[in-house]
Amino acid sequence: MTRFAAPIAEQIWDMKYRLKEADGTPIDLTVEDSWRRIARALAVVENDPKHWEERFYAALEDFKYLPAGRITAGAGTGRQVTLFNCFVMGTIPDSMGGIFDMLKEAALTMQQGGGIGYDFSTIRPKGAPVAGVAADASGPLSFMDVWDAMCRTIMSAGSRRGAMMATMRCDHPDIEGFIAAKSDSARLRMFNLSVLVTDAFMEAVKTDGSWDLQFDGVVYHTVQARDLWNKIMRATYDFAEPGVIFIDRINQANNLNYIEDIAATNPCGEQPLPPYGACLLGSVNLARLVSNPFGAKAALDKAALADLVRTAIRMMDNVVDASKFPLPQQREEALNKRRIGLGVTGLADALLMVGLRYGSEEAARQTEEWLHLIARESYLASVELAKEKGAFPLFDAEKYLASGNMMQMDDDVREAIRVHGIRNALLTSIAPTGTISLYAGNVSSGIEPVFAYSYTRKVLQKDGTRTEEEVVDYAVQMWRDTKGDTPLPDHFVNAQTLAPLDHVRMQAAAQKWVDSSISKTINCPEDISFDAFKDVYMAAYESGCKGCTTYRPNDVTGSVLSVSEKDEKTPAETPALAREAAGGDVIYMSEPLDRPQELEGATYKLKWPDSEHAIYLTINDIVVGGHRRPFEVFINSKNMEHFAWTVALTRMISAVFRRGGDVSFVVEELKAVFDPRGGAWVQGKYIPSILAAIGGVIERHMVAIGFLEGEGMGLKSDPQAQVVNLDNAPRGKACPSCGQYDMRMVEGCMTCGSCGHSKCG
């Protein structure tokens, strides 16, 4: 009998979390083996490993506690990977050498899979003088382009990578360029962007005051604060970026504000961190803790929740000691403060099960109560760990109790900390849980509402065909199992039917008892007015949120994709970055596809007369929209005279293929290359050059996979008349992992509803 609540859950486990040999042979034969692997790895540091292994296993069992993906995939594998999700890098020096030292550190961190954040406010603005070289500075955005290229390179090497967050202060002279950067769809694709908004700026916005843009004490420009605010809002309204981080509030609420200053966050914004700060994540699954769901006495089992939280805190504290770190500074920072981020998932499902409408005042009160319980138990568990293992090294009772969120903590908890200390400086955070939520049976993500009650997912088979399966929200499936065909009650709501201010209400309710921050998306209707849109951000600020991320579908960010549901038809949002011609073989994209982890292809041997060594061409394909198309080429030869041009061809042809569209012109251009030294006869046909021979191999491959009709012929079907979006055609970016048009903005990050792939790692 399987432990998985849905087929997609088992598929996610097999694809992302199951330990396998290098050749793909499973080591974890069952999900119980995965739980055992994680439990054993995190119990090794205990004095009684066997006892704690069983406790940890019980917490993991049936998906009650969900360590973040890096822990689930990496713990107990013996691999040189970090188990930490989030890193904010060191402060970028305002010097060329310092900038590129930071670039190297970023590359090393991303190579191990960490998501990183940087504050680019420390780099002098464009046009500022550079002493000693008689030149002007190129500004922080030019260096962000360099970071972006680095991330693309790490990605192309096939490494698991995290995303990047770039922040800039609202008073930096280049802030207007930063705000507008994402209006160019091809620029800074590897970054999420957020503006660091100060309290002084917000007050100037309210009073329509002036605002100085300055660097190193020099005022470069003076603008109207409200005009600058409107530029931020307009860019977000049109392009969904930049986000907004209320940085003064973050620093004021930080338990460690007496020893650190925060100016950046991890890619999804839930972890504000100091230079070299690191944090690991995990979530308790509230949907698994409701007793008598949908019944008259439905309630969250608070005793079970308290016990689960205490075990989870101990497990997460052990991760600090078990993990590898890309940089020694990150290890030192983690050990000195032992920061962890315990959050929740399945909140919306739990609310549905107890009869509450997500976004209502009653649901907000219940959310605050549950999060308060989690905060209390987290801090008390950390106190118990401090008694046993010692407080975090930089703990100072007097300063700690007088800082940040500790000022509002319950008196008995404060007294326990005063007497015994605390093991972890910060303990709670609500992170994106898209993939682990699918793994847990498609429970609602984090504190987000249910995205869609159900939808049809196309599953890619080994032969390139696709089968369809229904993916149902966990609470909806439970309703069906217990109530049969009874219609869903009125309190069932989803992301598309909620008013934006209902989202804000829920985020603010959760934020009160979360000592770090929250990754959440506030869905806004496409027809929301600009003024109403701005009100969402002001409401988030006034209600105590630490940041705000919205998503409004439009022609740039994306339109709607129909979601098939048994109980109700609901739109699901995806960004319109691609267009699929109905029934066609060709997809036209405004940005290149990302590389999936695995591709199928073929390798061809090309022997050119009078050449000592053969050339080998490997052509890999991707299946998008049910059709196979070439995705990348690798050209290799032992002949070192060929090295430079084969590398160049490999990169250029692969870049063209990843852009999509009619790439058959590559074949025609290569076949037309004439070598003035003469060609050769190959298999009874005259080939004018070795490049033409390569073109012929690529052509034969395109014919074999059905992309071209035949040699010297055109596309299998001509989509030119239907490139512009059709009313019934799916619109949105194809998932780089599974090819489905099911990318959606969830918890501040583009996430695939079909396979769980996330831009944020």
The catalytically annotated residue of 85, 192, 266, 424 is 266
**How many other CB atoms are found less than 10 A from the CB of residue 115?**
26
Q: What is the DSSP letter of 554?
A: B
Beta-ladder partners of 663 = none
Q: Which residues contact 716 (CB under 8 A, 6 or more apart)?
A: 585, 706, 707, 708, 709
Axis-axis angle for helices 361-389, 500-511 (nearest 10): 30
Q: Which residues contact 113 (CB under 8 A, 6 or more apart)?
A: 70, 81, 82, 159, 160, 161, 162, 761
- Comparing CA positions, the residue from 127, 123, 148, 147 lying closest to residue 136 is 127
Q: From start to end of 387-515, where are the E strands?
A: 454-460, 466-472
242 preceded by a cis bond (ω within 30 of 0): yes
- The sign of the torsion formed by the CA atoms of 123, 127, 129, 132 equals positive
The catalytically annotated residue of 53, 105, 270, 580 is 270
- Comparing CA positions, the residue from 191, 119, 118, 182 lying closest to residue 155 is 191
Q: Residue 429 in contact with residue 279, Cβ under 8 Å?
A: yes
Please give the full DSSP string across 147-201, using - where no structure is assigned. Answer: HHHHHHHHHHTT-----EEEEEETTSTTHHHHHHGGGSTTSSTTEEEEEEE-HHH
Please give the full DSSP string across 681-696, using - where no structure is assigned. Answer: EETTEEES-HHHHHHH
Q: Which residues contact 481 (CB under 8 A, 6 or more apart)?
A: none
CA gap 501, 641 in Å, rounded: 64
CA gap 693, 556 in Å, rounded: 41
CA gap 347, 660 in Å, rounded: 39
Place of tokens 């989870």: 312
| Chain mean position to CA 722 | 32
Count of H-run helices and E-run strands, the chain: 23, 32
Residue 266 is a catalytic residue = yes
**How many other CB atoms are found less than 10 A from the CB of residue 539?**
19
Please give the full DSSP string across 599-655, using - where no structure is assigned. Answer: -EEEEEEE--TT-SS-EEEEEEEEEETTEEEEEEEEEEES-GGGHHHHHHHHHHHHH
CA gap 63, 158 in Å, rounded: 30
Burial class (CB in 10 A: 0-12, 13-18, 19+), 62: middle
Place of tokens 């973040």: 68
| Chain mean position to CA 719 | 33
Residue 438 CA: distances (Å) to CA of 63, 474, 489: 11, 9, 24
The catalytically annotated residue of 86, 151, 170, 268 is 268
CA gap 520, 268 in Å, rounded: 9
Q: Residue 698 in contact with residue 619, Cβ under 8 Å?
A: yes
Q: Residue 315 in contact with residue 57, Cβ under 8 Å?
A: no
Q: Residue 457 in contact with residue 8, Cβ under 8 Å?
A: yes
Beta-ladder partners of 167 = 119, 194
Helix, coil or strand: residue 225: helix
- The angle at the Cα of 425, spanning 420 to 426, to the nearest 5 degrees, equals 125
Q: How long, in residues, is the chain?
A: 761
Active site residues: 266, 268, 270
